[in-house]
């Protein structure tokens, strides 16, 4: 446990989180270990009282979150006795936390180059050096450093996770996939959704290069790994649509309704395009009505209203919009669309009432998202949290049709819900 806490303290991204929510507790445990090591070494070699005092002052300053004075006292301690490895480690971590990467790196390098030092201490210093490089934005150097760690210890999880994150940042999805496979062999839990995301991202990269066949293989592999990857269904359907294989495209998009029914709306516009290309829009109405009955949500009723209005069925379109607003009063786009329909029919008084109702709801927040892991609130739906970098942790918070309790694992791909709510093509 102490080693895990030490690793958390060493990781820059985790350090920020810990500093915000539990700095005193974690630092206390970490420095308790540090003090124990310090006292153990003190019993084996002569020490100076000034060194003892400086070290203990540094510990107290860290516990009080005064890192500047902690650095000052630890620096005094190592100036008196340069053999105190633990103090150098603490100094390196403090410098990294303050963004002084150059000094942190020099400290790690000095530890690594010392003769007659325990290999585990050198390995820890090498890990810390990789974390320093990553914090400083030197991704290639960080990757090279972590790979050295893994050559010495292939099962070093902290380094594996760091390598995976670097590959993500560098868009090296194939390498990220291979690294996650190694992590999956070493840890318990379900890794399928992450592996599926990597395959999907690989497919997108192939699409950008114009290689549709390899992209298709990646999307299919993603779905064989995790059938809940909505992003893969959407992009696979897009490929079929581009080849004018409308039946396969429709089959792929309809799978969204089966694996994540509350987010079937992500496929509505795609289905409408496919059926329009087949010159038979009637199945769209049937599909939407089935969705509205089996898994009612505001987006489904909105899509149904748009279809019915295009089919000149005005009363049913308005009724569908009323159903959407009954489920989610904050659905401003539905209120606006209802006003437009009423105005188009010359129903000025009814339209005015609808717009007055819209104004009354303008201050109601809508389409709010939050990461279930770190609490970050992105402005739109994303499959990987921009802050903690965890996959499928972005949740929809309470808001009628977008009620909480539906996790990112139900969502699957990188589509902006605002665009879909406005009837634009999903990404």
C-alpha–C-alpha distance, residues 315 and 344, integer Å: 13
Domain extent listing, the chain: 2-186, 281-365
Check for a shared fold between 2-186 and 281-365: yes
* Structure-model confidence comparison of residues 37 and 387, the more confident one: 387
Q: What are the tokens at 51? A: 């060194």
* Residue tagged 């958390």 (tokens): 8
Q: Are 331 and 298 within 8 A, CB to CB?
A: yes
Phi, psi of 330 (to 5 degrees): -85, 5
Under DSSP, the state recorded for 424 is: P
Q: Residue 330: helix, strand or coil by DSSP?
A: coil
Please give the CATH superfamily to which domain 2-186 belongs.
Tetratricopeptide repeat domain (1.25.40.10)
Q: Residue 363: helix, strand or coil by DSSP?
A: coil
Closest CA to 80 of 114, 118, 116, 42: 42
Burial (0-12, 13-18, 19+ Cβ within 10 Å), 328: buried
Least confidently predicted of 49-63, 258-272, 382-396: 49-63
Bridge-partner residues for 27, per DSSP? none
Please give the CATH superfamily to which domain 281-365 belongs.
Tetratricopeptide repeat domain (1.25.40.10)
Q: What is the pLDDT of residues 102-143, one digit of tens each?
A: 988 988 888 888 888 888 989 999 999 999 999 999 999 999
Q: Taking the chain, what is the end-to-end CA distance rounded to the nearest angstrom?
A: 43
C-alpha–C-alpha distance, residues 183 and 350, integer Å: 60
Residues whose CB is less than 8 angstroms from the CB of residue 336 and which lie 6 or more positions away in sequence, other chains included: 358
Note if the pTM is more than 0.85: no
Q: What is the pLDDT of residues 241-261, one digit of tens each?
A: 999 999 999 999 989 888 887
C-alpha–C-alpha distance, residues 185 and 402, integer Å: 36
- Res 426 pLDDT > 80: no
- Res 182 pLDDT > 50: yes
Q: Are 378 and 371 within 8 A, CB to CB?
A: yes
């Amino acid at each position: 446990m102490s080693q895990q806490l030490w690793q958390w303290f060493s990781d820059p991204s985790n350090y920020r989180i810990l500093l915000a929510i539990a700095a005193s507790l974690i630092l206390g445990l970490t420095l308790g270990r540090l003090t124990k090591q310090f006292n153990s070494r003190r019993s084996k070699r002569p020490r100076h009282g000034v060194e003892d005092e400086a070290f203990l002052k540094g510990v107290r300053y860290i516990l009080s979150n005064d890192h500047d004075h902690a650095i000052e006292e630890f620096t005094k301690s190592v100036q008196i006795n340069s053999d105190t490895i633990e103090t150098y480690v603490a100094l390196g971590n403090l410098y990294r936390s303050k963004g002084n990467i150059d000094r942190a790196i020099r400290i790690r390098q000095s530890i690594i180059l010392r003769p007659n030092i325990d290999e585990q201490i050198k390995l820890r210093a090498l890990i810390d050096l990789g974390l320093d490089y990553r914090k400083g934005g030197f991704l290639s150097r960080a990757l090279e450093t972590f790979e050295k760690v893994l050559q010495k210890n292939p099962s070093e999880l902290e380094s594996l996770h760091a390598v995976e994150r670097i590959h993500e940042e560098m868009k090296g999805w194939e390498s990220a996939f291979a690294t996650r496979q190694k992590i999956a062999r070493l840890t318990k839990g379900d890794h399928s959704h992450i592996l599926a995301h990597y395959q999907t991202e690989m497919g997108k990269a192939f699409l950008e290069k114009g290689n549709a066949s390899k992209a298709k293989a990646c999307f299919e592999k993603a779905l064989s790994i995790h059938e809940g990857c909505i992003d893969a269904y959407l992009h696979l359907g897009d490929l079929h649509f581009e080849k004018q294989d409308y039946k396969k495209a429709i089959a792929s998009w309809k799978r969204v309704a089966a694996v994540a029914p509350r987010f079937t709306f992500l496929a509505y516009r795609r289905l409408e395009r496919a059926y329009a290309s087949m010159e038979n829009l009637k199945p769209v109405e049937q599909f939407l009505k089935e969705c509205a009955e089996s898994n009612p949500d505001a987006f489904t009723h909105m899509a149904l209203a748009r279809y019915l209005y295009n089919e000149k069925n005005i009363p049913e379109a308005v009724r569908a919009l009323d159903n959407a607003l009954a489920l989610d009063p904050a659905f401003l786009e539905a209120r606006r669309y209802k006003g437009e329909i009423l105005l188009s029919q010359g129903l000025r008084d009814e339209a005015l009432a609808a717009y007055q109702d819209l104004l009354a709801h303008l201050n109601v927040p809508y389409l709010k998202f939050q990461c279930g892991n770190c609490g970050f609130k992105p402005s739109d739906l994303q499959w990987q949290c921009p802050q903690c970098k965890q996959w499928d942790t972005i949740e929809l918070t309470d808001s009628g049709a977008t009620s909480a309790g539906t996790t990112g694992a139900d969502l699957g791909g990188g589509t902006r819900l605002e665009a879909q709510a406005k009837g634009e093509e999903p990404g």
